[in-house]
A and B are shown apart, each in its own frame.
Chain A
Amino acid sequence: MRTFRSGLLIGLAIAAAIATAAITYERYDTKTLKRTVRRDAVLCGVNTGLPGFSIPDDKGNWSGFDVDFCRAVAAAIFDDPKKVKFVPLDANERFKELQSRKVDILARNSTWSMSRETNYDLYFPAVAYYDGEGFMVRTSRKADSALDLGGTKICVQDGTTTRLNLADYFKDNNLNYEEVKFEKLEDMLKAYDEAKCDVMTSDVSQLYALRLRLTKPNESFILPDVISKEPLAPVVRQRDDDWMMIVKWTLYAMINAEELGVTSKNIDEAMKSKKPDVMRLVGNEGEYGEDLGLTKDWAARIIRHVGNYGEVYDRNIGANSKLKIPRGLNQLWNAGGIMYAPPLR
């Protein structure tokens, strides 16, 4: 009887230990960098296809703003921006897939919100792109501001936060409008193109992409106003602080590089700089890279292979891309925008 009881106790103890280990495995993952290095590639969750942000060509080569961010992380770790495996993910599976370790980073135009962090045990290290709801209007309207849109017919997609934000904004500003709502994005675009409404509203990044599909793109423009907060950020799992720090400071290194004027074109010159800020960035002063678990020249690798924040922006979504989204909020804090990175020191 006694042996049976102690046997049972030992059995229960072992079962409990296994259960705890399993839960710990699920909730506490502290080895992402180690596994990434062993695998010799970063696993990067991206959008299945969103022009400017992440899109594959016929040969399966990915490009875009989100894609370049993962390449920057790979450059920091491996000195090789090609050591990334891109995993296209749908909107509704993306957080589960990150949680269950199908990917190391999610760089998939995801809006940072509190519930996404708390409900999925995830962490959004830093804002990569400030998006938000905006308005497309015809140039003939001569509107300078969203406040000039009183009394207009506005096309909006039903069942979106966009529609709710629109209602709030017009109510707050005592303006009337006539809502023309659509289930599908395609139908909304068609209606605007056929002048069934004066204005179309959606997130600014999307409006620039939709504008290219109009019959006469030059006859419409997007107002500078942004009326809601849609901060897009990369995402990692909670409780792997070492990995989170690498992801966070990869982005901050790119932003700081732009602020300091360090680009992929002048990086060799920057390596010889005697300016303390630049010396710290490129690894000629301090041990910032080592403290991240990387090499001294981690940030120089990012800039050399991928470029600074402004270069990545211009190439994929800005002036040198098809989309041509003005920097707006995403301009540096000292040049008209709000993009701000803590100092690297």
Chain B
Amino acid sequence: MTALRHLILAMVAAVGLMLSASQSFAQQQDVGDQPGLVPDDTVELDPEYRKQLVLYRTTEPPGTIIIQTAERHLYLIQGNGRALRYGIGVGRDGFQWQGQLNITRKAEWPDWTPPPEMIARQPYLPRFMAGGPGNPLGARAMYLGTTVYRIHGTNQPQTIGTAISSGCFRLVNADVIDLYSRVPVGTRVIVRQKPRL
């Protein structure tokens, strides 16, 4: 009985160690995509990155999405001086873009076909992966214009708040499901980067 309890404790500790290691790794440098990894839903987001209603003054109409990459926040404009704010993970250096696009397609538990450029950088990636919990695109995807960029979920919730993606914007699955239910195809998405020196 005690042996079993020790074994369980040891396993819990090992998993905890792995998690904390991957977390600190994420903050320092590139974490490649980890297809097949089932997300740990117990990862608690920093209060700053939890979904919340905030004061936000803008001339953009309600329903517009504004992404402020330097802040790692996505705002869904509600009108009346407020917005729903979600924490996001953004593109790493060299994968930062800015401008305005529309959501052209929405998909639940999307399949993933990594573009050739991504495969060139991360040769271990699969050529195709069916949608599901281990898929790096997570529970939902919203496709932006005709680009390779999307707003999507993730199987790596610990990467929210970091800049590691290839230009996409990732939310935790619970948040992306919530956002998905609030925005139709045609929604305007404005992406703002930190000013260049």
Contact = CB atoms under 8 A, between A and B. Distances in A.
Nearest to A275: B197
A225 B57 CA distance: 12
Interface string B170-197: 0000000000000000000000101111
A262 B197 CA distance: 7
A260 interface: yes
Contacts of B10: none
Contacts of A209: none
Interface stretch (B47-55, B88-96, B98-106, B149-157): B47-55
A324 interface: yes
B163 to A, nearest CB: 14
Contact of B195 (A145, A221, A224, A259): A259
A331 B80 CA distance: 17
B83 A336 contact: yes
Instruction: Specify the main secondary structure of chain A where it touches its partner.
Output: loop
A324 B55 contact: no
Contact of B48 (A226, A319, A331): A319
A226 B52 CA distance: 16
B28 interface: no
Contacts of B53: 144, 224
Interface in B8-65: 46-48, 52-58
B195 A326 contact: no
B166 interface: no
Interface string A190-222: 000000000000000000000000000000010
A269 B195 CA distance: 13
A337 B85 CA distance: 14
- The size class of the interface chain B forms with chain A is 20 to 34
Given A275-B196, A278-B197, A226 B68 contact: no
B86 interface: no
Contact of B197 (A145, A269, A319, A337): A269
A15 interface: no
A238 to B, nearest CB: 33
B169 interface: no
B143 interface: no
A329 B55 contact: yes
A126 interface: no
B195 A261 contact: yes
A226 B55 contact: yes
For B58, B82, B196, B197, which residue has the most chain A Cβ atoms within 10 angstroms? B197
A336 B192 CA distance: 12
B146 to A, nearest CB: 28
A322 to B, nearest CB: 11
A326 B58 CA distance: 17
Contacts of B196: 261, 275
A260 B54 contact: no
Contacts of A261: 70, 194-197
Nearest to B72: A319
A224 B54 contact: yes
A224 B68 contact: no
Please provide the 7 A-B residue pairs with the shortest distance between their CB atoms, ordered closest to farther: A336-B56, A261-B195, A224-B55, A328-B55, A319-B48, A273-B197, A261-B194
Interface of A: 144-145, 221, 224-226, 259-262, 266, 269-270, 273, 275, 278, 319, 324, 326, 328-329, 331, 335-338
Interface of B: 46-48, 52-58, 68, 70-71, 75, 80-83, 192, 194-197
23 contacts: A144-B53, A144-B82, A145-B80, A145-B82, A224-B53, A224-B55, A224-B81, A226-B55, A261-B194, A261-B195, A266-B197, A275-B197, A326-B52, A326-B54, A326-B55, A328-B55, A329-B55, A331-B56, A335-B68, A336-B54, A336-B56, A336-B57, A337-B57
Given A273-B197, A324-B48, 13 more contacts: A224-B55, A226-B55, A260-B195, A262-B197, A266-B197, A275-B196, A275-B197, A324-B47, A326-B52, A326-B55, A329-B55, A336-B54, A336-B56
